[in-house]
Structure 1
Amino acid sequence: MKYEKTVILKTGVPLQVRNGCETDAQTVYENFTQTHTETDYLLSYADERSFDPDGDAACLKEKAESADEVELIALIDGKVVGTAGVQAVGKKYKVKHRAEFGISILKDYWGRGIGRVLTECCIDCARKAGYAQLELSVVANNKRAIQMYQKAGFKEYGRNPKGFNSRLTGFQELVYMHLEL
C-alpha cells in the first residue's frame, strides 16, 4: 500500500510520513534497536529482533507492494523518528476483516504529536485497505498511549493481567483496544 503525507507538528516542525522502502532498511533497523531499548512498553526487546537489515529491506518492500498492509516511517529533517504499521490478523475468512496496529517512536521525540499523526495515518490506511476493525494492545501503565488511542476512537474490550513478562518489572497487564472502521 502506497502512502505519503506531510504534516506540521504542534512545534511547527514538518513531519513526513511515508512507506518505508528497501533503502530505509538500515535506518529502520537502527530505529527499532533504539526504540526497543528506550522503553519497556513494546512487544520485544532489541536483542529479540527477527530480522537483520537485509530482512528489514525485504519486509519493507513487501509491505510497500501490499494492498492491505503497510509499514510507515516518520521523518523529521530526514531522520527516522518513528515507525508504525498495519498488519492483517489473518487471511482466513473469519478474521480477514481485522488488522493489528503497532507503533514506536524514539524517546527524544515523545510528546510532539508524532504518535497521534502515525495513528491517524494507520487508521486511514486500514480504512483504505477495507478492514472493518483495527486492533492493538498496550501496557496498562502506558497511560499517555491509552489516552491517545482513546482520543483516536479506540475502545477497550479486555485486559490480560499477565500479557507481557517484563525483564525489568515482571508481569505487565495488557489493555486490548479496537476501533471499528
Structure 2
Amino acid sequence: MSEQLVIREAVPKDAQQLLNFLNRVSQESDFIEHDSTRHVTKADEELSLDAIYNSAHDELIIAKLGPDIIGFSRLEKLSVTESEYGIVVEKAFWNQGVGSYLTEDILAYAKESPIKKVSLEVYKNNPAAIHLYQKHGFTTRSERKNTIIMEKMV
C-alpha cells in the first residue's frame, strides 16, 4: 500500500461509495452476505449512516485507501449493553493489517460507549477471521453447525 490508509467514522456522504464497495466485495467471498442490500438506494443508505452516526450503540468505521473504501467495521445494537460486530475487507487487502486497524478502532469506540459486550458470528471455515478475533480478545461462546459465536467484554 503506497497510499495512506485512512480509518475513520462513516458519514452520510459516504453512502454511494459504501454501496459500491459492498456490491464489489460481495462477489469476492462466500463469507459476505449482501443480497439484502442490493436494492438499497443512496438516499436510504444516507439515512442509515446518519442514524448510525448519531447512535450511542451503533458505529460504522471505514478504511479508505486513496479515494476508495477498502473495508469497514460495524457495531449494531442488540441490547442496552450488547452490540454485534461485523467486518468486511476487500480481498486484495486481506492479511495486510486492515482488519486489525478496523477492529482496534471499533473496540475503542465500544469502550467509550454504553456497550459492555461485543459479540459476533463467524463461519467455522474462515480461520483468518477467527484468528483476527482471537488476537483481539474474542472468545468462543457457542457453536452452531457452520458458525462460531464469539464475544468480548469491553
- TM-score w.r.t. structure 2 length? 0.93
Specify the alignment match of 2:9 in structure 1. Answer: 19
Cα deviation, 1:15-48, whole Å, max 9, x if unaligned, reads 2111211211111001111122211112x23x33
Contiguous gaps of at least 5 residues in structure 1 = 1-10, 91-95, 162-172
Measure the CA separation in 2 of the matches of 1:12 and 1:155: 34
Q: d(CA) in 2 for partners of 1:52 and 1:12? A: 33
What is the CA–CA distance in structure 1 between the aligned matches of 2:2 and 2:22, rounded to whole Å? 26
In structure 2, the residue matched to 1:58 is 47
Indicate if the aligned counterparts of 2:56 and 2:114 stay in contact, CA closer than 8 A: no
Q: Which amino acid aligns with 1:136?
A: L
Instruction: For residue 144 of structure 2, give the secondary structure of its aligned residue in structure 1.
Output: strand
Partners of 1:132 and 1:180 within 8 A in 2 = yes
Q: Deviations over 1:53-73 (max 9, x none)?
A: 211111111111222211111
1:137 deviates by 0.5
Partner of 1:119: 103
Alignment of 1:28 with 2:18, yes or no, is yes
Aligned to 1:145: 129
AA of the residue aligned to 1:57: E
User: Match of 1:129, SS?
Assistant: coil
Partner of residue 5, structure 1 = none
Is 1:78 matched with 2:75?
A: no
Q: 1:41 aligns with which of 16, 31, 45?
A: 31
**Cα distance change on mapping 1:12 and 1:130 into 2, 3 Å:** farther
The structure with the largest alpha-carbon Rg is 1
Paired residue type of 1:176: I
- The number of residue pairs the alignment matches comes to 153
Q: Give the whole-Å Cα distance in 1 for the aligned partners of 2:50 and 2:112.
A: 19
* Structure having the larger proportion of residues in strand: 1
- Residue from 143, 149, 152 that aligns with 1:176: 149
The letter of the residue matching 2:139 is: K
Letter in 1 for 2:44: G
SS in 2 for 1:68: coil
The question of whether the paired residues in 1 share the 8 Å contact of 2:21 and 2:69 is answered with yes
Contact 1:83/1:105 (<8 A) preserved: yes
Report the identity percentage: 24
**Partners in 1 of 2:138 and 2:129 — Cα distance?**
11
Contact 1:69 1:129 in 2 (8 A): no
Aligned-pair distance for 1:101? 0.5
